Structure 1
Amino acid sequence: MFRGYLRLLLFGFGLLVGVQVPGFIDDYGKRVAAHRAESEESLSGFRETAARFFNGDLNALVAHYKASSDEVMRSDAQSVEHLVYRAELLEGEWLAMQGPWYAQAWHLASAADRELLDETIAAYSYQVLLAPQAIAWGLSGGLLLAWLVELVVLGAGWTLGFGRKHKIIAHEQRHWR
């Protein structure tokens, strides 16, 4: 009986953790989109300058700033270069978050920008979405957690000899006759 309640408890915990995944993915995607929009706004004036003098090539604009004899321009080159790098990074993150849910989940697990991920974790508030995607994640998480814990416990019990039926040696079996 206790094992049944433990399974239910593990399933419930896995379910609640699993339903957080789509909400977290959504929050990360919104954070990326917001930073991307802000980055584009910051670069808009430089994009106009690059369009006017360098056929829209921001890297050529940065190279021009770096090659300038004016110390202020060379100093600003680092700032503009950082803005261009950040815009490219955010564009890549935004594109990754436009794919299907499994690609988004894989991106978050394997290649997400650490700074944005930490920012999302810090600002994340737990939520229970009733979207089909969240329900699927929740049920999968619950089943997986309950199954894994049961496998570990049963494996450890089997290794330690609990629950095994001992074989009766043939001569002991005949002895009582």
Structure 2
Amino acid sequence: MFRGYLRLVLFGLGLLVGVQVPGFIDDYGKRVAAQRAESEESLTGFRETAARFFNGDLNALVSHYRASTDEVMRSDAQSVEHLVRRSELLESEWLAMQGPWYAQAWHLASAADQKMLEETIEAYSYQVLLAPQAIAWALASGLLLAWLVELIVLGAGWTLGVGRKHKVIAHEKRHWR
């Protein structure tokens, strides 16, 4: 009876954890989209200058700033280059978050930008989405957690001999004479 309740508790815990995954993926995607929009806004003037003088090549604009004899322009080259690199990073993150749900989940687990991932974790508030993908994640997580814990407990019990029935073999009496 206790094992049955334990399974239910583990399944429920897995459900609650699993239902968070789509919400977290969505929050990360929204963070990336918002920062990407802000980055694009901050580069607008530089993009116009690059379009006018360098066929839209922001890297050529940065090179021009670096090669300038004006100390202010050389100093600004580093700032503009930082904005360009940040924009490129955000664009690649945004593209990764435009794929199917499993690609998004894999990207977050393996290649997400650590700073944005940490920011998303810090700002994340637990939620229960009733979207189909959230329900699928919840059921899969619940079953997986309950199954893994049961396997671990049963494996440990079997290894330690708990619950095994020992056969007693009756030996004939031997007379030593």
2:51 counterpart residue number: 51
What are the ranges of 5 or more consecutive residues in structure 2 without an aligned counterpart?
none
Task: Number of aligned residue pairs: give it.
Answer: 173
User: In structure 1, how many angstroms separate the alpha carbons of the residues matched to 2:150 and 2:54?
Assistant: 64
Query: For 2:13 and 2:160, how far apart are their aligned partners in 1?
Result: 27
- 1:63 aligned partner: 63
Deviation at 1:167, TM superposition (A): 2.9
Where does residue 116 of structure 1 map in the other structure?
116
Amino acid at match of 1:123: A
Whole-angstrom CA distance in 2 between matches of 1:34 and 1:113: 15
Measured after TM superposition, the shift of residue 72 of structure 1 is 0.6
Is 2:149 the partner of 1:149? yes
Structure 1 distance, partners of 2:94, 2:26, is 12
Identity of aligned residues (%): 86
What is the TM-score normalised by the length of structure 1? 0.95
What is the deviation of 1:168? Answer: 3.4
Distance 1:23 1:51 in 2: 39
- State the partner residue of 1:160: 160
State the Cα deviation string for residues 24-82 of structure 1 (Å, max 9, x = none): 00000000000000000000000000000000000000000011111111110000000
Whole-Å separation in 2 of the counterparts to 1:96 and 1:55? 27
Q: What are the residue-to-residue correspondences of 1:81-92 with 2, within 5 Å?
A: 81-92=81-92
The match for 1:93 is 93
Equivalent AA in structure 2 for residue 111 of structure 1: A
Q: CA deviation at 1:117?
A: 0.4
Give the root-mean-square deviation of aligned CA atoms.
Answer: 1.1
Once the two structures are superposed, the pairs formed by residues 102-141 of structure 1 within 5 Å of their partners are 102-141=102-141
- Which residue is equivalent to 2:78? 78
- Give how far 1:174 is off: 7.2
**What's the counterpart of residue 30 of structure 1?**
30
Q: Which amino acid aligns with 1:130?
A: L
TM-score normalised by the chain length of structure 2: 0.95
Q: Aligned equivalents of 2:100 and 2:166: distance in 1?
A: 52
Letter in 1 for 2:110: S
Q: For residues 50 and 2 of structure 2, what CA distance do their matches in structure 1 show?
A: 69
Unmatched 5+ stretches in structure 1: none
